[in-house]
Amino acid sequence: MTAGRPTSYKPAFVKQAEKLCILGATDMELADFFGVTARTINRWANKHENFCLALRAGKEVCDDRVERALYHRAVGYTHEATKIFMPAGREEPVYAPYLEHVPPDPGSIKMWLCNRRGDVWRDKIESTVTFDVGERFGQLIAEMDRRRIEAGSIPGELIADD
């Protein structure tokens, strides 16, 4: 016997959740729809495999649609459109169909390339700085040790002679 309040989960929620996710619903929006908290949505997903699979499938369909839209924005596209005119003296509007071209969007191009070809288009700049401290560094360390010995902060016998 389990303690606590009985669950409000119903198997019918599986199909509803999948459809909502296909339409772009977030976990918070699912929670609002089902009258529960987002934490409950997570619990249902962990406890009910079909519910979890429905969430994943629905979100994947939605993500695929957004990916296609980003691609089309990156390469540009043409679509049918209609201009509506209301000439003076006419009682009915005039509809003029035409093909509208949407040019490629630089922001979409950059996002696509940074994600798909990150090795070439990544904003992250990597640089390596090397330098040879050589003899001068050794001289500086020796001078610091000499001054600390003179000041009495390091006993002279702790400094090894090379």
**pLDDT (tens digit, 9 = 90+) per residue, 26-48?**
999 999 999 999 999 999 999 99
Q: Is residue 18 a contact partner of residue 55, using CB atoms and an 8 Å limit?
A: yes
Question: Is residue 136 very low, low, confident or very high in pLDDT (cuts 50, 70, 90)?
Answer: confident
Among the listed residues 30, 31, 35, 36, the one whose alpha carbon sits nearest the alpha carbon of residue 18: 30
Contact 74, 39 (CB under 8 A): no
Beta carbons of 11 and 49 less than 8 angstroms apart: no
Q: Which pLDDT value is given to residue 97?
A: 97
Segments making up each domain of the chain, as ranges = 12-75, 76-126, 128-162
Q: Residue 94 corresponds to which tokens in the numbers above?
A: 């005039």
Tens digits of per-residue pLDDT, 46-104?
A: 999 999 999 999 999 999 999 999 999 999 999 999 999 999 999 999 999 999 999 99
3-state DSSP assignment of residue 140: helix
Q: Where does the pLDDT of residue 125 fall: very low under 50, low under 70, confident under 90, or very high at 90 and above?
A: confident
Structure tokens at 15: 């199909």
Q: Between residues 10 and 125, which one has the greater pLDDT? A: 10
pTM of the model: 0.59
CA distances, 108 to each of 63, 114, 116 (Å): 16, 10, 12
Top-confidence range, 62-76, 120-134, 138-152: 62-76
Residue 73, phi then psi, degrees to nearest 5? -65, -35
The whole-number pLDDT of residue 141 equals 81
